[in-house]
Structure 1
Amino acid sequence: MGVYSKILLAVDLSEESDQLIEKTRTIAKNNQAQLTVLHVIEPLSFAYGGDVPMDLTTVQEQLDAHAREKLELFSQKLAYPTESLQVVTGHTESEIHRIAKEKECDLIVVGSHGRHGLALLLGSTANSVLHGAPCDVLAIRVYEPEE
């Protein structure tokens, strides 16, 4: 067994997520690690401050189903056996921490955009995951596709 036996790969399922595949696969193979791939959906009520005068359950269920389809496609591109594929709803950083603890992971892999200016001041998901993580965190630099 290698240094990392249980790896959690947290992806946002954007186009940039594919940039995490090669490095994550290599680390997992080199360590013969169990790999969990996670996508967190922030509840729609978070986006609207919880003050929405309608039931968003159906919309949330559609978002979950779409995310599960995309995660399955991502997993196929990853081409490494996964211990589990998970789509959960909640606050991104706390859900990543929760799943990492639950699965007893020793490495969390996330993408980082390396933002500057105001985005840097406000923090990033990768930075938030680092603080409070129960294990090592690898932030892989991802680049937005050129248009």
Structure 2
Amino acid sequence: MSEVIVVGVDNSETAKRAAMAAAKLATALGAELHVISGFSDDRIEEFGSGSDRITVSSADSAEYVARKVSEELDVPAGNIKYFAARGNPANALINYAETNNASLIVVGNKRMKGLGRVLGSIANSVAHGAPCDVYIVNTEVDA
């Protein structure tokens, strides 16, 4: 069984940068990359009218985000999977990594400076609770 690298994503550009770094690592190491998007509630919404209705849950939305990001990554076919994971982003990544025996969690450094550092960041929470190594990607863009 190959090693598993887990990366957390949302719709942000910083998350996409972290995912690109995770993809490079996974490819270089021959590891399987799992792209994870967390969701914290069981909200369900219905769209449409009459008999043409569609139901979308928070889990569906999270899985959609993970799938879209995974489709943009340059990882060999069969070495990438995407999932939605229940919980706030940090706990979802920690629990997923533990359940799937991940060797590495990759996260971006968003909210690790200034007021965000005081209030807490996903990267900080993951680093303190991870069952494996954590790689924190510098996702800031030089102006």
TM-score by length of 1: 0.76
Identity %: 27
Higher relative contact order by CA 8 Å / sep ≥ 6: 1 or 2? 1
Unaligned stretches of 5+ in structure 1? 45-55
Q: Structure 1 residues 61, 90: closer, same or farther in 2, change over 3 A? A: farther
Answer yes or no: is the 8 Å Cα contact 2:8–2:89 preserved in 1: no
Whole-Å separation in 1 of the counterparts to 2:44 and 2:106: 30
Whole-Å separation in 1 of the counterparts to 2:102 and 2:88: 19
Which structure features the higher share of helix residues? 1
Q: Structure 1 residues 17, 125: closer, same or farther in 2, change over 3 A? A: same
Unaligned stretches of 5+ in structure 2? 47-54
Give the aligned length.
133
Which structure features the higher share of strand residues? 2
TM-score by length of 2: 0.77
Q: Residue 74 of structure 1: CA displacement? A: 1.0
Q: How does 1:1-147 map to 2 (within 5 A)?
A: 5-43=3-41, 56-58=43-45, 61-80=56-75, 81=77, 82-113=79-110, 115-143=112-140
Answer yes or no: is the 8 Å Cα contact 2:85–2:93 preserved in 1: no
Supply the RMSD in Å over aligned alpha carbons. 2.7
